[in-house]
Structure 1
Amino acid sequence: MHEKGSITAYLSLILVLMISLLLAGLYSVQLAGARVQMVSAVDQGLYSLFARYDRTLLERYQLFYVDGSRGQGDMQMGKLYGTMEEDIARILFNRVDGNHNGNIGDLVMQGGGITGYTLATDSGGSSVKEQAAAYMKASLGAQGVRLLLEKNSRDRDMAQNMENARESIEAGESLDQYDHLKEQAEQEQEARDEAGEEMMLPEAPEDFVNPIETVRELKQLGILSLVLPDGKELSGRTQELSALASGRKLETGMGMYETGREESGVTEEILFGEYILQHCGNFSSPQPCEGLAYQAEYIIQGNHSDIVNLKGVVHKLLLMREAANLLHLYQDQAKRAQTRAAAGVIASLLLLPEAVPVVEQILLVCWAYAESILDVRGLLAGEKVPAFKEASSWQLTLSNIPRLLDGADDLRKNDRKGMSYNDYLRILLGIRNSRQKMAGCLDMIEMGMRAEEGKSNFRMDCCLYTTEVQFSFIAGKGNTYEVIRGYGYDM
């Protein structure tokens, strides 16, 4: 009997030990499951938050952001956190008070908070540029991107050639030189009169009109009146810039490494310019909503007025076309001969025969400028102009320059293989400072969004891109756990 009792006690001890180990294992599994459940719930809460992206912003501009202002015009991080906390509680406890113990490990949520976030305007709006470039890459496809890059390379070379020639083509400088020659001629005539010398003044050939004087008249007219095609109306819209992103102090993110890059690659910059042309209005395709109609011109110029922005772009186009046209005149010997002959007439009328080379250069610049007026007028009319002219595509003879005062639209030639107004905007966007270009784009996105119903307070610096959260839980017998998770549209 004694031996049997010893065996029973020994087995009881072993059973107690085994049961203890089993219960400890079950408790450990329970806690592990609770930790998985905690992390999963926080992840799902973040996913739920970012699933509330602004659908209007996505449909109109293909950008993923959560409107952190909830339409109020200022950040509502407390409300965003509250929404996420409710979602997590609903997932864990099937209710929102956070105290129901029907889950694994008898979890209780103690609380938490948002420990970091980034906004659309952080890092100079780099997340906007990244999303825009990604959208354009997907939209164009590999072949489309390759063709765009090749075109950009050609356009950049052309712009560089024009930039190199720009210093010598300012019509204003040429007119100043001509005025100086006229003053010199008058002074010499006065000296001859005082000395009693008499000279037979030369007479100009019949029907000869001094092209330099015509260009002077053209320069005195408004720049838009020179190039605006018949039937085209100007937008008189203006925009209060202080209400837009570039004119106010912006909200900034906190506590997270900024995911965007300060400097973007060449390809991304080119794709971003294409994105602007696709999503922003311009003179050839004005934006119909309230605010500025010529949005691409605003991004290039940065003024509050459509008319002022268009004037700035037209001035740049005239300079670009003037440079290209002057290069053609230098190379065309027939036109050089005409210019030299006209310079001889003008110099003889001034009684300054030695000034023929100077007058010839002034005439070349004036002729290039006059041709550029027809070019830009054609661009604004929706026509195309070749990057560099040939004899067959040249429009204006030296003797026809005075006709510009009456329009001379019948002299325009539309080259279907040439460059359009949008092509020139692409070049101007390409040489625009990257930060200024992004600031202008953010302004135009805000302006466009505010024209949508219920979006009058929309702000890009209230658009959430990434966030990091921290939540505390109690599981089992007083075990405390912290869960830190981050999520965003770049992940």
Structure 2
Amino acid sequence: MRGSITIFATMLLMMISQFLFTVLEAGRNIELTNIAKMNSEAVVESVFAQYCRPLWDEYHLLTYDAGTDAAGNVNINEIDTYMRNVTTENFKISTDDTIAFGTSMLRLSMDEIDPLKYALITDDNGGVYAREIVSYMKENLGYEIASNLYSEYQAMNETASDSVYDDNGIDNALGTLNSANKAKPSAARCSLNSKTSSTAAKKTDTVTENPLVEVQKVKATGILSQVVDEGSVSGNRINTGERVSSRALHKGNIESAGMDDWYAKILMQQYFLSYMSNYLSPDNSHAMNYEVEYIIGGKSTDKDNLKTVVTEILVIREALNMAYLISSPTKQAEAASLATGLAGWTANPAIVDAVKWGLLFGWAYCESVLDVRALLDGDKIPMIKSDSSWTSGISGMGRLLSGNTKAKSSDAGIGYKAYLGVLLFTKSTSTMAYRAMDVQEATVRMVEGYGNFRMDNCICEINADVTYKYHGLFLCFVNLLNGADNEFLIRNKAQYSYYGE
């Protein structure tokens, strides 16, 4: 039996074949587009999977260290090469552009990568660093808790700023007494060394101790020696010439907005208090034992930073303790009585009042020193004292300051870390970010193989336009396309960031 086919049937068969092959190629194109997108996501994630391990282990901070350039610069070419190699491996493409390791109809090659855009962790005045910290801490600290912390810090700052504490009050009171004593050489005199005579008006032989002299002597020795054993303080230091915060930094090429709102600041504070060392939780494996104190003080040594923090906490405590003394009629009466004993002989109410205020300033200072001792010992103290929580007496302040007495502890009070949070609250996001990176970089450099590590070589975000090339597979069977270009391109974006944006 002979078979035959007409010209019409032949043309119809060709048209049906063309339609079928076109549909197949269109379906293949759709699938290749999806695969190209998945590959772009996979290769950049593969790049970022090579995060700096010491930085994560010590600080829970993810960055890709791109500082493999011989000159110590950011090496973007290595990322480009890596992305191409991973793509080649994913699609099993041989170097001569033939199919290797079997046959696949879904084969792509990465043709072009536009110049990679990237953000370094030091960019945007520390804004990129802040964004990564905030992204991490949002998963660990709820908004309501952060809001409560913000209110607490703000209340403490406002109370301290509204105080009438005068750091020169003691000196002014002693100066007033000294001037009055010189102005009346024939009258009973006030000894400014350790004791003063009783009031001339009462004509008694009673001798009254002048605590202001003792407080003044102790203050002159420096605050750090009054609250801790200086021999036990860490001697670690940081190289100030190589700090992130003081050297010229490499720059990325992605523009980004800053983060300096209260929520970001609170999350950064809590990150520092959770993952960085401080006086109560030192870490001998880090470059600085008191890292949070460094973020606050910015000095080159642990000792100087601790001194800065202690001084600032003392100022807060002086203000809060002075607020209590002013509100307490009992304490006011004690100060007035002693002031009369010290300056009543002048028969000048203004001088007596000046001495009274000097005593209140000295008393607030004494109680504040005892507070700081308690805080550095891990105790908690009330923000505003009461009669029951007050520790020192107006007499014997010199003895208390020169000894080891500390303030009464209270479970309802706040501790040293909370005061660190208050001090961090006064710093800008940029200052905190750069100082934190100072000590983090120094710590990573202590790890073997990371001696040249630089924070400004660390990438947190990549963004690039990627072009893939592929050849038509089914259309080549359609004779109508003879001589046509059988090469096609797919374009998409390859992007990834550690802060999930």
TM score, norm. by length of structure 1: 0.86
CA distance in 2, matches of 1:155, 1:474: 58
Aligned-CA RMSD value = 2.8
CA distance in 2, matches of 1:272, 1:249: 24
CA distance in 1, matches of 2:26, 2:350: 104
CA distance in 2, matches of 1:120, 1:86: 26
Aligned position for 2:494:
486
* Candidates 376, 379, 385, aligned match of 1:383: 379
Counterpart mapping for 1:281-430 below 5 A = 281-348=277-344, 352=348, 354-409=350-405, 412-430=407-425
Per-residue CA distance 1:12-60 (angstroms, 9 max, x = gap): 3333443344444444445555444444433322222222223333333
Distance 1:17 1:419, change over 3 A: closer
**Residue 115 of structure 1: how far off its partner (Å):** 2.8
Q: Is the aligned partner of 1:55 residue 2:81?
A: no
CA distance in 1, matches of 2:342, 2:310: 31
Secondary structure of 2:139's counterpart equals helix
Distance 1:457 1:63, change over 3 A: same
Aligned position for 2:235:
236
Aligned position for 2:464:
469
Per-residue CA distance 1:186-210 (angstroms, 9 max, x = gap): 1x236xxxxxxx5455833656321
Greater shift in the superposed pair: 146-155 or 313-322? 146-155
Secondary structure of 1:441's counterpart equals helix
CA distance in 1, matches of 2:468, 2:495: 20
Distance 1:98 1:48, change over 3 A: farther
**Residue 318 of structure 1: how far off its partner (Å):** 1.0
**Residue 113 of structure 1: how far off its partner (Å):** 4.4
Q: Is the 8 A contact 2:169 2:357 kept in 1?
A: no
CA distance in 2, matches of 1:487, 1:416: 50
Distance 1:98 1:407, change over 3 A: farther
CA distance in 1, matches of 2:346, 2:488: 98
Aligned position for 1:82:
81
Q: Which amino acid aligns with 2:55?
A: L
**Residue 388 of structure 1: how far off its partner (Å):** 0.9
Q: Is the 8 A contact 2:238 2:287 kept in 1?
A: yes
TM score, norm. by length of structure 2: 0.85
**Residue 103 of structure 1: how far off its partner (Å):** 4.7
Greater shift in the superposed pair: 471-480 or 433-442? 471-480
User: How many pairs align?
Assistant: 468
Aligned position for 1:112:
113
Secondary structure of 1:487's counterpart equals strand
Q: Structure 2: any 5+ residue segments left out of the alignment?
A: 191-196, 199-204, 472-484
Greater shift in the superposed pair: 481-490 or 303-312? 481-490
CA distance in 1, matches of 2:170, 2:188: 28
Q: Is the aligned partner of 1:222 residue 2:217?
A: no
CA distance in 2, matches of 1:111, 1:201: 93
Q: Which amino acid aligns with 1:458?
A: F
Q: Is the 8 A contact 2:122 2:434 kept in 1?
A: no
Aligned position for 1:132:
133
CA distance in 2, matches of 1:209, 1:360: 14
Distance 1:15 1:406, change over 3 A: closer
CA distance in 2, matches of 1:290, 1:309: 15
Secondary structure of 2:232's counterpart equals coil
**Residue 382 of structure 1: how far off its partner (Å):** 1.6
CA distance in 2, matches of 1:405, 1:370: 6
Q: Is the 8 A contact 2:335 2:360 kept in 1?
A: yes
CA distance in 2, matches of 1:115, 1:181: 73
**Residue 401 of structure 1: how far off its partner (Å):** 0.6
Aligned position for 2:166:
170
CA distance in 1, matches of 2:265, 2:250: 25
Greater helix share, 1 or 2?
A: 1
CA distance in 2, matches of 1:303, 1:253: 28
Secondary structure of 1:236's counterpart equals coil
CA distance in 1, matches of 2:347, 2:93: 100
Q: Is the 8 A contact 1:71 1:457 kept in 2?
A: no
Secondary structure of 2:140's counterpart equals helix
CA distance in 2, matches of 1:421, 1:185: 43
Per-residue CA distance 1:393-436 (angstroms, 9 max, x = gap): 11111112121353152x64222221111111111111222221
Q: Is the 8 A contact 2:215 2:401 kept in 1?
A: no
% identical aligned pairs: 26
Counterpart mapping for 1:15-164 below 5 A = 15-70=13-68, 73-95=72-94, 97=95, 99-101=97-99, 103-104=104-105, 107=108, 109-140=110-141, 142=142, 146-164=144-162
CA distance in 1, matches of 2:318, 2:96: 72
Q: Which amino acid aligns with 1:212?
A: L
Q: Is the 8 A contact 1:119 1:463 kept in 2?
A: yes
Q: Is the 8 A contact 1:235 1:293 kept in 2?
A: yes
